[in-house]
Amino acid sequence: VGVGASRVRDLFDQAKKSSPAIIFIDEIYAVGRHRGAGMGGGHDEREQTLNQLLVEMDGFGNNEGIIIIAATNRPDILDPALLRPGRFDRQVTVGRPDLKGREEILRVHAKNKPLAPDVDLKTVAHGTVGFVGADLENLLNEAALLAAKKNKKAVTMAEIDEATIKVEVGAEKKSRKYTEKDKRITAYHEAGHAVSAFYLENCEPVYEISIIPRGMAGGYTLYRQNEDSSHMLKSAMIDRIVSAMGGRVAEAITFGDISTGASQDIAHSSEIARSMVTKYGMSDKLGPVLYGKDNDEVFLGMDYSNSKNYSEAYASLIDDEVKRILSECYAKCEELLTVHNDKLTLIAETLIEKEKIGKDEFLKLMDENFDPTAEEPSEEAVTTEDVKAEENTEETVEEIGEDVTDISKVTDDSYEVGETEE
């Protein structure tokens, strides 16, 4: 008992002896969480440590020469006493980096890595919207590892693209084997996401579709934002739900049955719909009112349970509104994929054949003028052309002279204009 408080006293004593000094406390919420009726009661070790920290910060004179800096990603759960004037009264918010910030972070982490000429860090920054500094560092480290595995002397864009997907989704698990039935279900599921997103105005562009397992996912559809955005419109949230429903709808339309593969899609859609109703005031029926409080602070020293700030009658209305939004989005997705069932089938069958479709190929397949029945030159036709080319070559060699028997010996100077045809 009192170990934390004792260490705080020792820390400040050492800082005063070494003055001028800077004390940096990382993850300050570990000791600076809101005091109150938490799971540990009001007299736990953490609160004693916090109290001692507050006492030490109050004991500074005008010329102590000590600066205290703390960092946290949860300022909302800090005890108000820590943020009063004279303590941590100046806050510097460090958000997710924008385009320029990501580019500069990439340059820092690329200094000790050989990059191929085709690597453009600005392009990489454009394709990593939402990444933080740690993600970008991990991306380049993964790219370097991939290049080393391929015995390359420099990191190319191919490795960076692969590393970006690995950071977002996880590593490929090619060893996991599908049954043909599972492969078809996964292909149509992912095709449902991609095709619905393509025809929705407010969805991010599809970047890659794959039925190769990655991380915990059996397949994935990856999207890419074109630019940084700090706001999301109601229409964009609706379209995101519609696209998330695409996998379940595609299964139902194609197989007349549904699988468990849509569990995460349903959870994500439900979360968006509930936030629209209770947090963002986007329900016409319930109006712009905040319903409920965040309930994720039970392990962070706040109340053991947060009571609802609305009645059971409103709880029922909230559930009805959430269900209405999800049902309408499902119906919209069902109509969309029924109308464009030919594209759904085309994308799914291509996935079954190739297992992965990139952005360019996806756009080509989704082009209204694309004809999947267009025949490519057959092997027989190619072979015939090759034979004709060989015959022409032999005739040309004979015309040049009997002493020339190897085509590799024929120089450009041996030919006269008009003697050969391509």
Residues taking part in catalysis? 190
In SS3 terms, 71-104 reads as CCCCHHHECHHHHCCCCCCCCCCCCCCCHHHHHH
Which run of H or of E encompasses 206?
Answer: strand 206-210
Lookup: tokens for 333? 């997705």
The span from the CA of 188 to the CA of 344, in Å, is 7
**DSSP for 6-61?**
HHHHHHHHHHHHT-SEEEEESSTHHHHBPPSS-TT-SSSHHHHHHHHHHHHHHT--
Looking at the DSSP bridge assignments, the partners of residue 115 are: 155
The number of helix segments (H) and strand segments (E) in the chain equals 15, 5
Torsions phi, psi for 339 (to 5 deg): -65, -40
The span from the CA of 263 to the CA of 269, in Å, is 10
Lookup: tokens for 270? 């439900």
Q: Which residues of 72-103 are buried (b: 16+ CB within 10 A; e: fewer)?
A: beebebbbebbeeeebbeeeeeeeebeeebbb
Lookup: tokens for 153? 């002397």
Task: Note whether 162 and 213 are within 8 A (CB).
Answer: no
Which run of H or of E encompasses 210?
Answer: strand 206-210
